[in-house]
Structure formats: structure tokens, C-alpha cells
Structure 1
Amino acid sequence: MTDGTTHRSRRSPWERYGWVMAVIWLVFLVYPVIALVNSPADSGWVITGWTALVAFVVIYVAGFINGMSGSGGGLMTPPKPIQWWAFGALIVCGALTIPSVGGNALSFIPFIMSFASYGLTRPAHWITLAAGIAITGATIFLMPGWISYVAILAVVVMLGVVNTVSTTLIIRSTEAETLDRELATSEAREGVARDVHDLVGHSLTVVKLKAQLVRKLIDSDPERAKAELADIEALTTEAISGVRTTVAGVRSAELCDQLNTCREALKSDDVRLRVEGDPAALSPVQSLTASWILREATTNVLRHARAKNVTVRIAPGKFTVTDDGRGHSGSEGNGMRGMRERATTSGATFLVAPAGDRGTRVEVTW
């Protein structure tokens, strides 16, 4: 998976396709278009109206794309100044069409309201909503033949409700996802602390006992003292390696990063890693758990499997690691217990099974 693909996969559907909604809604500008075609105003005002209409469309779509890309901000992030300038330009463009289209200029208000709702702040949403309804209502009831424009007021009110509900749901969904990610990160940190405590605590206890034994044997039995020192060296090396592995897991919490890390680790042992599916199919909480499972499964492959190929399959609510090694012996060591514990903690089921005639399949299902 290339970096570009990875970057796109991390973007939400709202970020990738939200601008399509803005383009579809442009069909409602047919009313000022018809009004411009049949406008009795001077040619200068008609030309100004057409220019303002085209500029409105360009600014509106560009502003939505800019906001959806994350570079302009809005809705979930503070909007950049360019979004405010675009908002002001939309109001000016709509106002410039009034001399040529008259009451049909009210058709621009729903677009201005939507831009404020999705591209600016919540206060801007509420202010623009109130102003849009007030201006539309006042204009309609003050104009001759106002009854023909009542439909515009209904559209403005309906769109205000839709924008309010949809933006509220988007914000709450994003906040819930952020909270889930923070909880998962907190649980992961607790797991790391437990792993480091168990690993270092055990190793240091044994090292202390052996050091005490060496001190007693150094004069009476030098050869055995040397053997104990060699054991101490091996224990400290193992502890350091374990701590580094744990820290590497924390630094590579995201599944895409962990896939790259594991691919390089397996490649160094002439094992090929193949990925099927998109990491974005898993939620942030699921991805965090999958990262830990993948790291431990890779360690098991390198230590025990003698495999040549490893396949990672990712689907919504499912994560599988399969190798073509010598198969699972049936016994469950610390690595397997750790994977099972992490899967259970995230609300998933954990399965270790043979992969065909040979090899092992590690499967996590939410």
C-alpha cells in the first residue's frame, strides 16, 4: 500500500465526498437563472447578475471542497480566514443579483446557510439560520405577489432543520469516535505498563538473586560465578529487547504503520507479507487492537512458524493473519494469551485455527 493510498484511506467519507452534496444542490439555482434569462432589467444589471451567479457557484463549490479537504477548516475545526472571506463573497454575489432577478435572489440564501453550517462555526450556523429565515420571511411578505415566493420560505426553514440535525449528528459522531480512541489509547497504555512491569519486574528479580549468588561464589567457585554472570547478561539482554518491542508497539499504534513495521521485520527473515483489504474498514478502536494482534502474530511467525508467506485480511469487523508455516501446536503460551486478552478487552472474539493443510490462522471478529 502506497503512502498516497494510506493517506486517502484515513480520510472519512464526509471528507472525500461531502462536496458532492454541494454540487447536487446547485440545481436549485435554476430559479435565478430563469429570472436572469427573462429579466426586464438594464443589460448592465443583467450582465452583473450573470457574473455574480457564476462567481457564486465557483466560490461555493471551491469553499466546500476546501473545507472538506481539511485545509480550510470548519464544522469540526476552526475555519481558516479564507472560509470567512468566501462566506462574505457569497453574500455579496447574491446581493448583486437583486436588481436583475428581484425576489428570486432569495434562492441564494439556502446555499449561504449551508456554507455557514458545514464550513464555519456553530455560532455562525445559528446566526445565519436566524438571519436567513428572517430576511426571507420579511422580503416575501413585503413584496407584491408574495404568495408565489412562499415555497422559498418553506425550503429555507426545512433546510435549516436539516442542516442543524445533520451537523449535530456529525459532531456527536466525531466526538464519540474521539472518546473511543482516547479510551482505547488509555487501555493500551495500561496494557503496556502491565507488560513492562511483568517483564522488567521478573527479570530484575532474577538478576538480583543471581547477583547475590555471584557475590557468594566469586571466591569459592569462580567457574560457576562466571556461568551465573552469563545468565545475568542473557536476562538483561532479553529484558531490554522486550522493552524495546513494547515501546515499538506503542509508537506504531496505527494499523497502517504496524503493517509497514511487520512487513520489514518479516522481510528480514525472507517472509513475504501480503495485505488484502483496507485498514480504514476498521474503526480506530478496532485498528488499535488489530495492531497489537498483528505485532504478536508476527513475533510468533518469526520465532516458531518457519513460514514463507503471511497474509493479512482486513474487512469490516474482521481481522485475520494467516501464515503457511508448520502450524499451531495447540498449546497456548504468553503470546497467545496476550492476544486473546486484548481481543476480549476490545469486545472481540479470538480464534486460532489451522490454515488448510499447514499454517496457522489468527482471527479477530468484532
Structure 2
Amino acid sequence: MAEDVTRDAVSASAAGAAPAAWAASGARRPRPGSGSPWERYGWLMAVIWLVFLAYPLIQLVRSEASQGWIVTGWAALVAFVVVYVAGFINGMSFGGGGLVDPPRPIQWAAFGGMIACAALTIPSIGGYAVGFLPFIMSFASYGLNRLAHWVTAAASVSVTGVLVFLLPDGLSYASVLAIIVLLGVVNTVSTSLIIRSAEAERLGLELATSEGREAVARDVHDLVGHSLTVVKLKAQLVRRLMDSDPERAKAELADIESLTAEAIAGVRATVAGVRSATLSDQLRSCRDALGAADIALRVDGDAAALSPAQSLTASWILREATTNVLRHSGARTMTVRIAPGTFAVIDDGRGVGGAEGNGVRGMRERATTGGATLAVSAPESGGTRVEVTW
């Protein structure tokens, strides 16, 4: 009866593998010092699973070994519990597992201590010391690295197999061997999933970082490209006015100084991710920039017809469209049409031609990000029409 109880306990102890998984470096867990209930009391879960070590304990109570070995077995069992829980807390709090990051030296020391403790119980409980193997296997799988996982799993299967095939009552350990093999498979699959999950998180972080850099680069391109275009036009105007109209030239220089300061502030705000110019502000800015190039701006509709989110997208597209008109179009008039769900910029310049440049691609990306569709076309009357539809 005692042997049956012990073998059942060994089978049940496979459930003790679960807590080690929570200490894996790829698992989500709170930061050290977060003060969360899990960080304060998560170690209790490891203690709860240790109830399955009650069966080696029962075997120690019924052991007929010498008193010295029984005392040694009790001490080893207690030490095993302490090392296991300490290793669990270390992995949970500091990410000591080696699934993704190299295992900490203390994890290797804990692993060796667990093996030594289990070995010291053999003289008193014999083959039933295999009851410690599920915990050792799980610790190696989740707390160390893949090599330790495979070596420990193979060694555990081999040791249990020796008991099954070489001991006189070896068949009584057949169920234990089945559990050890099953646990090895479960640990292999689960640790593989943890590693893939951690890799996916890493790739997701790299992708998000890359997308963030592209967004900042696009914002800076739009902002600086527009501002520098206006500054160039005003500087050309100043050169023409220096002799004929010095007072106006001074006024234009003041505008250049203001535009430069605005561009610097805009770049800083964009990099910080907090820039949000309103459509009305952008319309006023574009009117001044176009006026410096003797291009008239007409506005049909009210900026309030668009939602705040739509206005933000429209303001960036208006900025880039204005830059393109100033640089390439040769237009004399630019018209902005605003209606609920639509925003269009139309000029009477040379029209579109050739492949799309960075400006058009940037506008298309901004429209897509804002949940809109952008279309660039050439009206029958000539020029270019840029239209955004939500």
C-alpha cells in the first residue's frame, strides 16, 4: 500500500512543474520593486505545489534504514524545499531563467543543490527518490537553458528506466517512467512556446521602434521641408527688396527669424511625440508662405467641418501639399476645399508627372494612418488635385 501511495505521489508530483514555468525569463512578470501582490505572495504558489513532496516524506517516515540515513534524508528533504522555493523566488523576481537570457550563477548553484539533496535521500527511501525528478526537470527547463533541459530530461528518463528494467519490482515504476516522459514532452513544448513568445515580443519591439523612427523621420521631413522652402523663398525676396524697399526687407527677415524659431520648436515637439497643429493654424501658416511666393490661397468650407482627428491628418497633408506647390508647381492659385469627410488641395500649376516622390508617399502614409484614402489626380483644367476621403 505504501509503495502504491508513493508511486501515485510521484505521478502527481508532475503537477509541481507548473510553478517553475512562472519563473521563466520569457514569461510576463512584474518588475522588481513593483510591490504587486504577485511579487509579494507569488512564492506561496511554489509552496503549495510542494505538497506533492509529502509522498517522499511518507516513505521517510516508513523507512527502515539506519537512523543516521533517516536523519540525513529528513535534512535533505527540508533543504530541497528551501532551495527550490529560493530558486523559484529568484527566477520570478530577477529573471534568472535562461530561456532567453543567460541563467544567473545562483540558478546553477540551486540546481546542483537540488540534485545533491535528492541524492542524499536515496539511502533512506531508495528508488522513490525519483519523486524529486519532476521538480528538478522543471527547474532545469525553465530556470536554466535548453542544454540543461535536454540533459536533465534524458538523465531523468534513463534513471527511471533503469529502475523499471533492472530492479526486481521494476514494473511498479512503469507509471513513473510514463509521467517522466510526458513531463519531458510538456516542458519541451512549453519552453519552446515561451522562447517563441519572447522572440515575438523582441521583434515586435524592434518593429515598433522602427515604425516610430519612420514616423519621426516623416514628421521632421514634412516640417523641415516646408519651413526651409518658405525660408528660401523669403530669403530670395529679401535679396530683391534690399535696395528697393529696405523696410519690407527687414520685415521679411523678421519673418525668416520667426519661421526658423517655429521650425526648431516644431522639430523638438515632433521628436518628443507631442506635436499637434490645428488645421486653422496650418491654413494661416500656409497663406503666409504662399503669399511670400505671390501665390493666392482660397479656402472653400470651414475647418470645423472635420473632426479633430481628421483635422490633424488634413493639417499635415496641407503642409506637404503646400510645400510641393511652392517647390514644383509654378502655380498662381491654390484652393483648399473642406467638407464633412473630405479635404482637397487644388492648384493651377504644371500638374503631376513622373513617379511619386517622398512628399506624395508621405501624404499617402499619413492618410492611411488617419483612416483615410488619398488620391492624387490632374483636373481637366490643369494643375494637381490632392484629395483625402474618410
Normalising by structure 2, report the TM-score: 0.62
Give 1:35's match in structure 2, choosing from 55, 59, 77.
59
Give 1:212's match in structure 2, choosing from 236, 243, 251.
236
Partner residue, 1:151: 175
In the alignment, is the contact (CA less than 8 A) between 2:32 and 2:94 conserved in 1?
Answer: no
In the alignment, is the contact (CA less than 8 A) between 2:60 and 2:124 conserved in 1?
Answer: yes
Mapped to 2, the partners of 1:18 and 1:115 lie a distance apart of 16
Give 2:304's match in structure 1, choosing from 307, 317, 329.
329
Corresponding position: 1:76 with 2:100: yes
Q: Report 1:223-234 matches (<5 A).
A: 223-234=247-258
Q: Report 1:1-366 matches (<5 A).
A: 7=31, 22-249=46-273, 295=274, 329-331=304-306, 332-335=310-313, 345=369
Deviations 1:19-64 (A, max 9, x none): 6664443232122111011111111111111111111111112112
Mapped to 2, the partners of 1:115 and 1:177 lie a distance apart of 23
SS of alignment partner, residue 69 of structure 1: helix
Mapped to 2, the partners of 1:338 and 1:187 lie a distance apart of 18
Q: Which runs of 5+ in 2 are unaligned?
A: 1-29, 282-302, 318-363, 373-390
Using the TM superposition, give the Cα deviation of residue 17 of structure 1 relative to its aligned residue in structure 2, in angstroms: 8.8
Moved over 6 A (4+): 8-18, 336-343
Q: AA paired with 1:111?
A: F
Mapped to 1, the partners of 2:137 and 2:46 lie a distance apart of 12
Q: Which runs of 5+ in 1 are unaligned?
A: 1-5, 250-294, 304-327, 351-366
Q: AA paired with 2:175?
A: A
Using the TM superposition, give the Cα deviation of residue 224 of structure 1 relative to its aligned residue in structure 2, in angstroms: 0.5
State the Cα RMSD in Å. 3.4
Using the TM superposition, give the Cα deviation of residue 173 of structure 1 relative to its aligned residue in structure 2, in angstroms: 1.3
Give the direction of change, closer, same or farther, for the CA distance of 1:116–1:344 in structure 2 (3 Å limit). farther
Mapped to 2, the partners of 1:61 and 1:84 lie a distance apart of 14
SS of alignment partner, residue 304 of structure 2: coil
In the alignment, is the contact (CA less than 8 A) between 1:15 and 1:70 conserved in 2?
Answer: no
In the alignment, is the contact (CA less than 8 A) between 1:67 and 1:74 conserved in 2?
Answer: no
Q: AA paired with 2:312?
A: N
Give the direction of change, closer, same or farther, for the CA distance of 1:212–1:181 in structure 2 (3 Å limit). same
Deviations 1:180-234 (A, max 9, x none): 2211221221111111111101111111111121122122211101110111111
Mapped to 1, the partners of 2:58 and 2:177 lie a distance apart of 19
Mapped to 2, the partners of 1:112 and 1:177 lie a distance apart of 28
In the alignment, is the contact (CA less than 8 A) between 1:16 and 1:69 conserved in 2?
Answer: no
Give the direction of change, closer, same or farther, for the CA distance of 1:337–1:121 in structure 2 (3 Å limit). farther
Q: AA paired with 1:209?
A: L
Mapped to 1, the partners of 2:92 and 2:268 lie a distance apart of 39
Give the direction of change, closer, same or farther, for the CA distance of 1:142–1:21 in structure 2 (3 Å limit). farther
Normalising by structure 1, report the TM-score: 0.66
SS of alignment partner, residue 98 of structure 2: coil
Mapped to 1, the partners of 2:367 and 2:90 lie a distance apart of 39
What is the number of residues matched between the two proteins? 272
Mapped to 2, the partners of 1:19 and 1:39 lie a distance apart of 31
Using the TM superposition, give the Cα deviation of residue 72 of structure 1 relative to its aligned residue in structure 2, in angstroms: 2.3
In the alignment, is the contact (CA less than 8 A) between 2:39 and 2:93 conserved in 1?
Answer: yes
In the alignment, is the contact (CA less than 8 A) between 2:56 and 2:131 conserved in 1?
Answer: yes
Using the TM superposition, give the Cα deviation of residue 70 of structure 1 relative to its aligned residue in structure 2, in angstroms: 2.7
Give the direction of change, closer, same or farther, for the CA distance of 1:51–1:246 in structure 2 (3 Å limit). same
In the alignment, is the contact (CA less than 8 A) between 1:67 and 1:119 conserved in 2?
Answer: yes
Give the direction of change, closer, same or farther, for the CA distance of 1:64–1:238 in structure 2 (3 Å limit). same
In the alignment, is the contact (CA less than 8 A) between 2:160 and 2:173 conserved in 1?
Answer: no
Q: AA paired with 1:329?
A: A
